[in-house]
Amino acid sequence: MNTSGNRLDTLTSWDADWTGLRVVVTGIGLSGFAAADTLIELGAKVVVVDASDSEENRAKADTLDIVGAHQVLLGGAHSGSLPLVDGEAAELVVTSPGWSPQQPLLAAAAAAGIPIWGDVELAWRVRERAGRRTAEWLVITGTNGKTTTVGLTASMLQAAGLRAIAAGNVGTPVLDAVRDPQGYDVLAVELSSFQLHWSHSLSPLASVCLNVAQDHVDWHGSYENYLADKAKIYANTRVACVYNAEQRETEAMVEEADVVEGCRAIGFTTGMPAISMMGVVENLLVDRAYIEQRKDSAAELAAISDLGEVAPRHLVANALAAAALVRAYGVEPAAVREGIRNFDPGAHRIQKVAERQGVLWINDSKATNPHAAAASLASFSSVVWIAGGLSKGVDYTELVVTHAPRLKAAVVIGTDSGDLMAALTRHAPDVPVIAVPPRDTEEEQPGGTGQAPAEGHRVMARAVQEAARIAADGDTVLMAPAAASMDQFKSYADRGNAFIEAVRGLGEGPAQTG
């Protein structure tokens, strides 16, 4: 049985005594590398384990060896059992978020009573350091919309003149942000359900769960476990627990959360807000939560048009959630508006690619599950839908039933789209469905280069051609796959880029690109 618990309880700042602590770090990706590097700097004895013995990982291992790692073990043979650290049992395991609790090494650690932290837990414990400012944390989770909301939050904070950064599951690893020599006023921290699972002592200034839908059940073991890990976002929140007033599950999480005395529940809605909510009134984003006269008035924050020419409902919701977080910190309405106007949502998130002959072409490759795709589909009235991919066993029934009336046609791609095809056949029988085979069986034409495009890009080109054949003035061609991309593409970004290339390669006259 591990007996290091009392020592770990004292490790609540950078300046605590971490010297000689025996730690196994699992994973050498961005978060794992940052965790190992941090622990080495703190004086711990660190062994790093990763199943992949790639060239990239060997380069990272060399770096960690130079800075003082005790040992770096690469390859599958090392990831199935818990290694010793300097000849003795580990006192702590710090895991990368992708490693599931069922992974043999982590299961062995749990069975031995060895505490397991994630990189976020470690970052929280070392955030206070003598001589440096300690940043407040605004934390964000949800099945969909996390990255957009954390970006909006950081943009609003920066517009208020604060030194702030988006960190965590997006962009900068939170440990790198915590170790920044200048320090930050505020961190906008995106937390996945994986990271929350391995977090234990966070006490943020404000927190939000944007929404929940079935996802990552294979990792968590059940949907109930997934919800329980999402709900950890609210634990020990000090000022404001922000919830989605249009989804009862998130409000219930707040009601059941053990928070700091005085913490408020703040809702957000894309409709008319009640007291203590953020919402929309006559195309304006408004605040009825953080003003003294909230019983009979609201403070204007921004206009929906400030979000850009394509501002779907879920983007409005994300902006309201971000506003609720930064208002909890004290950011003024003018900075909320400026932050929205300055925000660049990035590629592959309801991205306008082109407008040709009255047809709007939208890339939402980031919509990797039905919940995200539903938000995209709800934004348009007559849709030629390009969908499909690696389904991960999700149920498409509700998605198809809800949005069948707006579908002009569906073009289905992917090697694992049987469930989607079945749902369309059963619940949208009047919607034409065109299936694009996974492989192009046509032989290369004489005179070709012999370097055909990757399979996924070839399939996407055919899907776009089929969509162009069907779409007419007033339609939207929406690529929102409701599935992961790894069956035919390197990533959702690769899939989105394939769509963009295919649309721009149509050559059907002049286009107005977005």
pLDDT tens digits, the chain, 514 residues: what are they?
A: 455 668 999 999 999 999 999 999 999 999 999 999 999 999 999 999 999 999 999 999 999 999 999 999 999 888 788 999 999 999 999 999 889 899 999 999 999 999 999 999 999 999 999 999 999 999 999 988 898 999 999 999 999 999 999 999 877 899 999 999 999 999 999 999 999 999 999 999 999 999 998 666 666 678 888 899 999 999 999 999 999 999 999 999 999 999 999 999 999 999 999 999 999 999 999 999 999 988 889 999 999 999 987 788 889 999 999 999 999 999 999 999 999 999 987 778 788 899 989 999 999 999 998 988 998 898 899 999 999 999 877 899 999 999 999 999 999 999 989 999 999 999 999 999 999 988 643 433 333 333 335 788 999 999 999 999 999 999 999 999 999 998 999 999 999 999 999 999 986 444 444 4
Q: At which of 320, 342, 364 does a domain end? A: 342
Contact 363, 354 (CB under 8 A): no
Task: Collapse the DSSP code of 17 into the 3-class scheme (helix H, G, I; strand E, B; otherwise coil) and give the result.
Answer: coil
- Structural domain includes residue 444: no
- Structural domain includes residue 447: no
- Structural domain includes residue 4: no
Can you give the pLDDT at residue 5?
A: 66
Three-state secondary structure string covering 150-174? HHHHHHHHHHCCCCEEEEECCCECH
User: What values do phi and psi take at 303, rounded to 5?
Assistant: -100, 150
Task: Collapse the DSSP code of 483 into the 3-class scheme (helix H, G, I; strand E, B; otherwise coil) and give the result.
Answer: coil
Can you give the pLDDT at residue 349?
A: 79
Residue holding tokens 């749902």? 423
Can you give the pLDDT at residue 140?
A: 98
Domain total of the chain: 3
- Structural domain includes residue 10: no
The reply to whether 336 and 235 lie within a common domain is: yes
- Structural domain includes residue 241: yes
The reply to whether 210 and 332 lie within a common domain is: yes
Q: Is the sign of the CA dihedral 98, 104, 110, 113 positive or negative?
A: negative
CATH code of the domain containing 36: 3.40.50.720
Range of the domain at 95: 20-114
DSSP 276-316: TEEEEETTEEEESSSSTTTTT--EEEEEGGGG-S---HHHH
- Structural domain includes residue 13: no
Q: Can you tell me the distance from the alpha carbon of 25 to that of 179, in angstroms, rounded to the nearest whole number?
A: 18
Task: Collapse the DSSP code of 419 into the 3-class scheme (helix H, G, I; strand E, B; otherwise coil) and give the result.
Answer: helix
Contact 144, 213 (CB under 8 A): yes
Distances (CA, A) of 58 to 30, 290, 501: 14, 51, 34
The reply to whether 405 and 470 lie within a common domain is: yes
- Structural domain includes residue 514: no
The reply to whether 370 and 333 lie within a common domain is: no
Residue holding tokens 């529940």? 265
pTM above 0.85, yes or no: no
User: What values do phi and psi take at 461, rounded to 5?
Assistant: -60, -40
The reply to whether 185 and 84 lie within a common domain is: no
CATH code of the domain containing 291: 3.40.1190.10
Q: What's the helix, strand, coil split of the chain in %, to 5?
A: 35, 20, 45
Provide the residue type at 185 as one letter: D
CB atoms within 10 A of CB 260: 12
The reply to whether 148 and 103 lie within a common domain is: no
- Structural domain includes residue 59: yes
Residue list, annotated binding site: 142-148
The reply to whether 373 and 297 lie within a common domain is: no
The reply to whether 62 and 150 lie within a common domain is: no
Sequence-distant (≥ 6) Cβ neighbours of residue 255 within 8 angstroms? 265
Residue list, annotated binding site for ATP: 142-148
Q: At which of 79, 94, 114 does a domain end? A: 114
Can you give the pLDDT at residue 509?
A: 43
The reply to whether 133 and 85 lie within a common domain is: no
Q: At which of 281, 312, 342 does a domain end? A: 342
Written as six digits, the tokens of 153 are 């939050």
CA dihedral 168, 169, 170, 176 (to 10 degrees): 30
Residue holding tokens 């959360």? 257
The reply to whether 137 and 102 lie within a common domain is: no
The reply to whether 393 and 486 lie within a common domain is: yes
The reply to whether 361 and 323 lie within a common domain is: no
Can you give the pLDDT at residue 453?
A: 52
CATH code of the domain containing 369: 3.90.190.20
Written as six digits, the tokens of 501 are 């290339």
Can you give the pLDDT at residue 301?
A: 98
**How many residues are listed for the chain in this entry?**
514
Can you give the pLDDT at residue 232?
A: 97
Q: Can you tell me the distance from the alpha carbon of 368 to that of 390, in angstroms, rounded to the nearest whole number?
A: 9
